[in-house]
Amino acid sequence: MGVVERWWAGARLHGRGVDLALAAHRVGGFSELQRGGLAALLELGLKPERARRWLETPAVEVPWSVLTLADPRYPRALAAVPSAPAVLEVDGDVEALQAPAVAVVGTRNSTSYGTAVARHLGQALAKAGVTVVSGLARGIDGQAHWGAALAGRTAAVVAHGLEHTAPARHKRLRQEIVARGGAIVSALPSATEPRPWQFPIRNQWVAGLVEAVVVVEAPLKSGALITATRAAELARDVVVVPGRLGDPASRGCLRLLAEGAEPLEDVDEWVAARFSTSRPQRERWLELLFEGHTVGEVARVVGRSGASLLADLSMRELSGEVVRLPGQRYGPGGRA
C-alpha cells in the first residue's frame, strides 16, 4: 500500500512540462520547493489557476508502491531525464528498477524469427543480472518479458494506470513478472485507461530507464523507433537486430543501422561482452556516490577534497559515465 501525497498528486496532474528536479536543485531540494507553496509554483511559470489546482489536489492511496522524484529509490537514470515523471506507481519489487537495465522493444506483429530472438535476448540479459525493460505489448515486448521472467527480473512500463492491463491477454504475463521479482511501472494515475496518445510518452520513459535500447523488429512506422530516437537523444546506446532484407518488419531496423546504430550480430556474445562479471569494478568513491551519498560525505570517507571529486565528476559527466541528480547526488550514466 502506498500514498501519493497531495503535493505530488498535484505535480502529476498539473506539472506536465515542468522540470521538477531542476527546479528543486535551484532552491535547495524538494522540501524547499514544497514549502514555497503557491509562490514557488508561480515562479516556475505556472498560471495562478493551474498552480492552485496543483496545491488543492487530494492525496491518493494505492495498493502498490509509490516513488516520487524525492524518493531515493526512484530510478537514478530516469531521475536525470529532463521533465522526468513526478510520480511512479510500481506493482512489484521496486528493487528491480535499481539494477542495470536494457530495453528490448519492437513490433507487435513480430515474425517467428523476431519472437525467437526477443525471447532469447530477454533470457540472456536476465541471466546476466540485467533488468529487461519493455512495454508489456504483444509481439516483441511480450516475448522479451517472458524470456527474462524465466531467468531473472523484468520490468514493464505501461501506458495506462495500474488498475488496468493492456492487452488483457497479458494479465497472466503481468502476474508472472511480479511473482518472479519484477515490476509493472506507470507514471499515470491508477485509474487511467489506455489511450493511443499515451503510448509514445510511455516509450520515452522506457528509454530514460535504461542504459541501452535493443530494437529486435520494427517497421518504418513503429513505437520502437520512437523509443530508439529518444534513447539516442539521451545518450543511451541504440542496438539493432539487422533482420532480413525485404521483410517489412525489419525496415525500421535497417534505417536505424543506416543512421549509425550498433548491429547486434550474436545475442550471447553481445551480452557476455557488455555484462560479463569480469568487467572492471567501479572505484569505491563512485560506488558510494551511486549508493546515494553526497559529494561531501564521500570526500570525508575516502579522504579526498570535494573540489577534486567535483573536477573528476565533471569529466565523467562529459563522457556520459555519470549523471547529476538533485541534492549533490550522482548516478551512473548510459555509458557507465
Question: Tell me, which fold does domain 95-275 have in CATH?
Answer: Rossmann fold (3.40.50)
In terms of pTM, does the model score above 0.85? no
Strand order from edge to edge, sheet including 262-263: 65-68, 87-92, 183-186, 154-157, 131-134, 101-105, 212-215, 237-240, 262-263
What are the distances in angstroms from CA 169 to CA 112, 148, 166, 256, 280? 19, 18, 8, 31, 42
pLDDT of residue 279 exceeding 50: no
CB 71 within 8 A of CB 5: no
**Who wins on pLDDT, 182 or 17?**
182
User: Residue ranges of the alpha helices (H) in 36-75?
Assistant: 37-43, 48-56
pLDDT-based confidence at 309, cuts 50/70/90?
confident
pLDDT-based confidence at 119, cuts 50/70/90?
very high
Residue ranges per structural domain of the chain: 2-92, 95-275, 284-332
| C-alpha span between 120 and 304 (Å, rounded) | 45
| C-alpha span between 212 and 208 (Å, rounded) | 9
Residue at 188: amino acid letter:
L
pLDDT of residue 314 exceeding 80: no
| C-alpha span between 194 and 60 (Å, rounded) | 20
pLDDT of residue 297: 78
* Model confidence pLDDT, tens digit, residues 152-194: 999 999 999 999 999 999 999 999 999 999 999 999 999 999 9
CATH number of the 284-332 domain: 1.10.10
Quick check: do 95-275 and 284-332 share a fold?
no
pLDDT of residue 278 exceeding 50: no
CB 234 within 8 A of CB 122: no
Percentage with pLDDT > 90 across the chain: 71
DSSP state for residue 29 in the 8-state scheme: S
